[in-house]
Amino acid sequence: MDITFEQVTHVYGRKTPFEKRALNNVSIHIPSGSFTSIIGHTGSGKSTLVQHINGILKPSAGRITVGDFVIRANEKKQNLKALREKVGFVFQYPEHQLFEETIIKDVCFGPMNFGVSEAEATKRAEECLQLVGLPSQLWHRSPFDLSGGQMRRVAIAGVLAVRPQVIILDEPTAGLDPMGREEILSLFKDLHERLNLTIVMVTHNMSDAANYSDQVIVMDGGKPLMAGAPERIFSQVDQLRKVGLDIPETMEFLNRLLDRVGKKETIPAFTINEAADAVIKILGGVKDHV
Amino acid sequence: MEKIIEVSDLSYRYSDEHPFVLKDINFTVNKGEWLSIVGHNGSGKSTLAKCLNGLILPQKGTVKVGGYTTSDEEAIWEVRRLVGMVFQNPDNQFVGATVQDDVAFGMENHGVSREVMKERLSEALRLVKMDDFAKSEPYRLSGGQKQRVAIAGIVALQPLIIIMDEATSMLDPEGRKEIIQTVRALNKKHHLTVISITHDLEEAIHSDRLLVMNEGKMIREGKPRDLFKSTDLLRKVGLDLPFTVKMRNELRAKGVPLSDTALFQEELVDELWTLHSSK
């Protein structure tokens, strides 16, 4: 499902002393089947932006198209339920939303809410719990007996069980330890590749944005500042710094080294392996001049 | 060196049906040091933190803080006055309607007189660089600013030890930097003993000493520089490595003759530069 924003503006608390323009005339395109990361400083409009994709927020002006669905400003009657079945939303700290007596019931809640029979919902729940890697001996226990990381996976299974085509992730790894972070991100990468899911991820982690996405959108002051492949975006070091963003630590390190050897260039390298190769090249390349 | 905390043979479980989440833990904390306790989620490090100010009491062994034993009912309030704790979620710790009310709350509870309170309030806010926000309401603050207010509330009580329980894990990178800078200043300039419970090793490399927890046991202890020489163990218990260590290991594996000591990016750049200029 292609996602398109056309001149979308969102104003919070209109006609109150707290009026705030959180999105300002935003036009962006997220292609079907892409993995898009949205980065930006706290308060830049990232979360507001993604909450428009499944109609949690409605635009004050402009138009959003998600597949066949169109959401316009000032339009009352919209079939948001059908849209929300297609667009799953994993909120920040989704484990806070678990509520059922057992894990399996919790995962069934989503699909049954969309009219799926109990038998079918149970089947899907089992599939999705397997997908997120939760051992079956735990399925009939209370979700509240699990560790934080496991609870988060149950919450994610609940979103997957609705079988959305688009998944929105708002800081999916916040508060997780490094191993948990890697597990969750590889899970979405895998889902993205195997099921051709469109993924939109809001993140503060530049390395995650660089390593997992094929498109990065940079938000600043309610507007998209730039959009493109990670290699291109993270080469704009000065621009990113100006809006309070870092570059992936691999590149930060290379910049320090380049600075020291007196070279002025930017090397987009996102993994440790790529960065190490670049280091060797920088050192070797300089040696030839000596 | 003066020992401010002594933990001996500490074991703890939440109830009789549950397994022990802390098993035979022994360590001491020196006055004025910055100690990090690291381990993956569920390794027992937060439970351990709660033992250090008597929020929970061990079933076996003892915890002594500044000479007081936490299981001594007479001493528990003294222990809690000595040990301040900053928790993970900035939104769960704000009780006052404004920044200054929030910082004053703890002092009121401890019966500090109004004159003294005023003095300590402004001093504490200055320390965490929140003096310009004294009259601000919490919803106008960022996560990092809220955590700094939480720290000010603790500093105002003049404790000897401050425990940060994953206090940066819900913050954005900028908030994280603010907190690390604040804590460093408290530790270096004001000689407060800092215990940081964390799984962020980029933060932990700044501390004086590290304790590594896994499955309720303390499995290693040492200076960051020594500990990160043997990286297999840390990987095995589900901890990531600091960036510089990963980079250094990768370069060594690719045949670059580097030492195994660099912990900070500047150090590794220096070493590479030296290597390159001596060619």
Mind listing the pLDDT tens digit for each residue in B209-260?
999 999 999 999 999 999 998 788 888 887 888 999 999 999 999 999 999 9
From chain A, the residues in CB contact with B243 under 8 A are 249-250, 253
From chain B, the residues in CB contact with A149 under 8 A are 41-42
Query: Does the distance separating the beta carbons of A276 and B250 come in below 8 Å?
Result: yes
pLDDT at A290: 38
Among A90, A202, A203, which residue's Cα sits nearest to residue A154? A90
Selected residue of B201, B231, B247 to mutate for chain A interface (largest A Cβ count, 10 A): B247
Sketch the domain layout of chain B as residue ranges. Answer: 3-225, 242-279
Distances (CA, A) of A124 to A108, A117, A121: 8, 11, 5
The pLDDT of residue A76 is above 80: no
Query: Does the distance separating the beta carbons of B276 and A283 come in below 8 Å?
Result: yes
pLDDT at A285: 52
Query: Does the distance separating the beta carbons of A204 and B266 come in below 8 Å?
Result: no
Domain B3-225 architecture: 3-Layer(aba) Sandwich (3.40)
Query: pLDDT tens digits for A136-172?
Result: 999 999 999 887 788 999 999 999 999 999 999 999 9
Q: How far does B145 lie from chain A, in Å, by closest CA?
A: 13
Query: Does the distance separating the beta carbons of B243 and A175 come in below 8 Å?
Result: no
pLDDT at B230: 79
Q: Among 3.20.20.70, 1.20.5.510, 3.90.226.10, 3.40.50.300, name the CATH number for the domain at A3-247.
A: 3.40.50.300
Selected residue of B174, B203, B214, B234 to mutate for chain A interface (largest A Cβ count, 10 A): B174
From chain A, the residues in CB contact with B251 under 8 A are 276, 279-280
Query: pLDDT tens digits for A10-65?
Result: 999 888 887 889 999 999 999 999 999 999 988 899 999 999 999 999 999 999 99
Q: Nearest by CB to B276, which of A149, A205, A287?
A: A287
Lowest average pLDDT, out of A209-218, B22-31, B87-96, goes to B87-96
